[in-house]
Amino acid sequence: MAPNTCPALATLTLTGRQIFEGSHASIVRLPRLTGKTKLLESGQATKRNWFAIQKVTTGTNKYLYIFGYQTPEQLAGAAKDEHAEEASEALFIEAQSAERALAWGREISEEYVHRLFEGQAVDWKSMHFAHWVENEPQTEYPIDILASLPVVSDGQYPDFQAFKR
């Protein structure tokens, strides 16, 4: 490989921030930046002094999984008010398919709620909370929020301490 080139990009990262994600055959036009970055039709990127373009290929896709739940305090309030508040969390799951990401997301949700209730017999699945994989998160949520979400691989739990309570 020639110096300063990256073959067939799946994800471009500019100074630690993802600026594009797409298939290997994508042709991308980046906004004018201080310096020059040129993406070639072959899928190679030429990088110059100011930028670091990074190849990220895992053979998997990244899916935004969102799930609802109730904290112990919210569940106690739900006994008095059928319209009690609910909480939600979101994270990216790297998986072979959206179905696999959804299945692993359900396991994450169950484990998280189990930890919230510290051994009490509370079952997230039986509470029938909403949960889904967002098809086009970049059109629904601001990029800065998406960039701040944790990313886990299929079969890996997130750092539950990082979730808000």
Sheet strand arrangement including 5-6: 5-6, 45-46, 38-39
The residue assigned the tokens 């890996």 is 156
Measured CA distances, 123 to 9, 31, 107, 143 (Å): 42, 48, 11, 33
d(CA 49, CA 151): 29
Average pLDDT, the chain: 73
Instruction: Name the more confident of 114 and 18.
Output: 114
d(CA 161, CA 165): 9
Q: Which residues pair with 66 in a beta bridge?
A: 90, 132
Tally of residues, the chain: 165
| pLDDT single digits (tens) 78-113 | 888 777 789 999 999 999 999 999 999 999 999 999
| pLDDT single digits (tens) 112-150 | 999 999 978 888 999 999 999 998 999 999 999 999 999
27, 20 contact by CB (below 8 A):
no
Residues 6+ apart with CB under 8 A from 63: 92, 93, 94, 95, 98, 101, 102, 133, 134
- Tell me the mean pLDDT in the region 9-38: 37
The residue assigned the tokens 């508040």 is 85
